[in-house]
């Protein structure tokens, strides 16, 4: 239980076709009940765990930490069509490597995913009775801080060390093209935004000053008097 895989479907895909491919793949796993015999290799904090079954067209990546560099023989065990199978592998683990700088980050991200899964599932399924939620949260937070990864309890703010626009008003406005969504027209995006300059920073309507309000009242009264006299002369008011 829990050794399957996830298939995300695009809304534009054919649902029946995707469901058929998914059912066909689930019926023919390549290797099940996978176990790794690490031999003399000292490993810790492996991910993922538990190991999922391997299906056609997929790959299985196991990430972890090792204590001593060197050459080791690792055996991958499992079942192929119900029969036991063993695949021996020779691996060379260097003491330091300049080509695998991203591997620790990938390992930390994968381990965070496993720990979050343990946190949101029942204790009796994937974690022992001595592992509580606070311990998992603390470990997830440590991984996020040590490897600069965003988690549920860590967040990062990028702060520029150099000011590139000391005077935003004098900064020229450059139009940036935006990819148009398929099936829509230019009317869906509205009018282009006006450049921000010293003359049009405020886009709202103006409010008259208090000393100008009496002048507006006088003008309104004169217009009202003129309208009444006009209607008396024309006979509209009796």
Contact call for residues 9 and 18 (beta carbons, < 8 A): yes
Nearest Cα to Cα of residue 53 among 73, 90, 17, 82: 82
Residues 92 and 36 in one domain: yes
**105 is a domain residue:** yes
pLDDT of residue 127: 52
Residues 86 and 137 in one domain: no
**Domain finish residue from 96, 125, 142:** 96
pLDDT of residue 229: 60
Better-scored residue on pLDDT, 216 or 154: 154
Q: Is the pLDDT of residue 161 over 80?
A: yes
**Domain finish residue from 152, 169, 186:** 169
pLDDT band, residue 234 (cuts 50/70/90)? low
Residues 111 and 61 in one domain: no
**203 is a domain residue:** no
HSE at residue 44, side-chain half, CA atoms within 13 A, is 4
pLDDT band, residue 163 (cuts 50/70/90)? confident
**237 is a domain residue:** no
pLDDT of residue 5: 74
Q: Is the pLDDT of residue 64 over 80?
A: yes
Residues 38 and 129 in one domain: no
Residues 69 and 150 in one domain: no
> How many domains does the structure of the chain reveal?
2
**36 is a domain residue:** yes
Residues 45 and 112 in one domain: no
Of 115-119, 163-167, 172-176, 216-220, which range is least confident? Answer: 216-220
Better-scored residue on pLDDT, 229 or 209: 229
Residues 72 and 7 in one domain: yes
Q: Note the helical H segments in 27-168.
A: 103-120, 123-126, 133-146
Nearest Cα to Cα of residue 6 among 44, 65, 48, 45: 48
pLDDT band, residue 111 (cuts 50/70/90)? very high
**113 is a domain residue:** yes
Report the mean per-residue pLDDT for the chain: 78
**Domain finish residue from 169, 190, 225:** 169
**164 is a domain residue:** yes
Domain span holding position 53: 1-96
Residues 145 and 124 in one domain: yes
Residues 91 and 101 in one domain: no
Residues 66 and 117 in one domain: no
Residues 132 and 76 in one domain: no
**13 is a domain residue:** yes
Is residue 101 helix, strand or coil?
A: coil
pTM exceeding 0.75: no
pLDDT of residue 173: 83
pLDDT of residue 45: 92
Residues 152 and 90 in one domain: no
pLDDT of residue 203: 47
Contact call for residues 143 and 119 (beta carbons, < 8 A): no
**238 is a domain residue:** no
């Amino acid at each position: 239980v829990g050794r399957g895989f996830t298939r995300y479907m695009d809304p534009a895909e054919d649902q029946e076709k995707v469901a058929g491919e998914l059912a066909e793949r689930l019926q023919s796993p390549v290797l099940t009940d996978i176990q790794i015999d690490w031999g003399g290799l000292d490993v810790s904090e492996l991910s993922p765990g538990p190991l999922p079954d391997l299906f056609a067209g997929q790959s299985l990546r196991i990430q972890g930490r090792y204590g001593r560099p060197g050459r080791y023989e690792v055996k991958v065990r499992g079942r192929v069509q119900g029969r036991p199978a063993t695949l021996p592998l020779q691996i060379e683990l260097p003491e330091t490597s300049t080509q695998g700088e991203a591997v620790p980050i990938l390992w930390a991200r994968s381990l965070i995913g496993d720990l979050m899964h343990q946190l949101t599932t029942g204790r009796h399924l994937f974690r022992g009775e001595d592992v509580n939620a606070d311990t998992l949260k603390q470990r997830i937070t440590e991984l996020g801080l040590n490897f600069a990864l965003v988690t549920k309890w860590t967040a990062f703010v990028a702060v520029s060390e150099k000011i590139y626009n000391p005077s935003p008003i004098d900064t020229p406005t450059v139009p940036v093209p935006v990819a148009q969504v398929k099936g829509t027209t230019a009317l869906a995006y509205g009018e282009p935004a006006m450049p921000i300059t010293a003359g049009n920073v405020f886009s709202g309507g103006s409010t008259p000053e208090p000393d100008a309000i009496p002048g507006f009242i006088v003008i309104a009264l004169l217009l009202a008097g003129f309208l009444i006299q006009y209607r008396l002369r024309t006979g509209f008011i009796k």
